[in-house]
Amino acid sequence: MEWLKDNDMPYRKVPLAQDSIYHIYTKSIAGYKIFNYAKDYKRMIETIDFYTVGDPPCKFSLFLQKKNKPKSNIPQPYSLKSERIVKLLAYCIMPTHIHLILQQIKKNSISRYMNLILKSFTKYYNVKCKRKGPLWESRFKNALIETDEQLLHLTRYLHLNPVTAHMVEKPQLWHASSYNEYLMKCDDKDKICRYDDVLDINPTSYRKFVEDQISYQRTLKEIKDLVL
């Protein structure tokens, strides 16, 4: 599809490895507060889900316009599991930045994916706020996750971000992260992460694992090299 062809896609100088799992981090320019309302967080969550599909039927903005129309012939992209280009394992959206844990399924797919979600949200935000220009720093940062232990500790780090920033007292109160998915506390229709074949999560044990370490969030040695 022509609209997917972007000549300025931010591919990495060192390509990310296929099938590997990465902590992906991107932030706003000059610490600009991007997410101010619940609808902004919701829009980004829906965007990061939509573009996991490698060949979506249209731009996300058009999909939103047509998905509720009875006569629309645009298919539901989330059902096309076999065509996903990245697998989303966990996420946390903060007022000025985004954390994602992604598994790269196809060559250069994380770069392509990040390009699509960031451009999509920038267009939405600029129209809504009547502004122009870039919204994000030019390149996202990434760190390779090499062990299951690193991955588990990193999910905890992501899910505790809002608590560390004193946005909420408990991570389950922050609805712009995947924490409630891990606790099985949200409806199936709201689940966008696919970690079952990578992590064996028991909701009760995981909650204890996360919340017992709230005061240690900034000093978790297991992920010090992965915290971007």
CATH code for position 112: 3.30.70.1290
Lowest mean pLDDT among 90-94, 181-185, 186-190: 186-190
How many folded domains does the chain comprise?
1
Strands 21-27, 141-145: pairing kind: antiparallel
Give the residue carrying structure tokens 């099938």. Answer: 19
Strand partners, 92: 99, 177
The pLDDT, as a whole number, for residue 113 is 93
Picking from 25-29, 94-98, 107-111, which range would have the lowest pLDDT averaged per residue? 107-111
Higher pLDDT, 225 or 29: 29
> Would you state the pLDDT for residue 137?
86
User: Could you tell me if residue 23 is inside a domain?
Assistant: yes
The DSSP code for 126 is H
**Which pLDDT score, from 0 to 100, does residue 87 have?**
94
For 46-194, list the strands marked E by DSSP. Answer: 86-93, 97-104, 141-145
CB neighbours of 146 closer than 8 A, spacing ≥ 6? none
In a domain, 5, yes or no: no
**What pLDDT is recorded for position 1?**
33
Cβ count near 8 (within 10 Å): 7
Residue 57, pLDDT score: 67
Mean pLDDT estimate for the chain: 82
139, pLDDT greater than 50? yes
In a domain, 164, yes or no: yes
Q: Provide the pLDDT for residue 6.
A: 39
Question: How confident is the model at residue 8, as a pLDDT?
Answer: 41
Find the mean pLDDT for residues 192-217: 90
What average pLDDT does this structure show over 92-121?
Answer: 93
Give the residue from 66, 108, 84 showing the smallest Cα distance to 192. 84
* pLDDT-wise least confident of 29-38, 57-66, 100-109, 183-192: 57-66
Which of 2-16, 109-123, 185-199, 201-215 is predicted with the least confidence, judged by mean pLDDT? 2-16
Is the pLDDT assigned to residue 162 strictly greater than 80?
yes
User: Would you say residue 79 lies in a domain?
Assistant: yes
Range of the domain at 176: 15-220
Residue 120 to residues 58, 125, 143, Cα–Cα distance (Å): 12, 9, 24
225 within domain boundaries: no
Range scoring the smallest mean pLDDT among 7-16, 28-37, 75-84: 7-16
pTM of the model: 0.82
- Determine, yes or no, domain membership for 8: no
Contact yes or no for 121/135 (Cβ under 8 A): yes
Whether 173 shows a pLDDT value over 50: the answer reads yes
Would you place residue 58 in the very low, low, confident or very high pLDDT band (cuts 50, 70, 90)?
confident
- Can you tell me the mean pLDDT for 3-25? 58
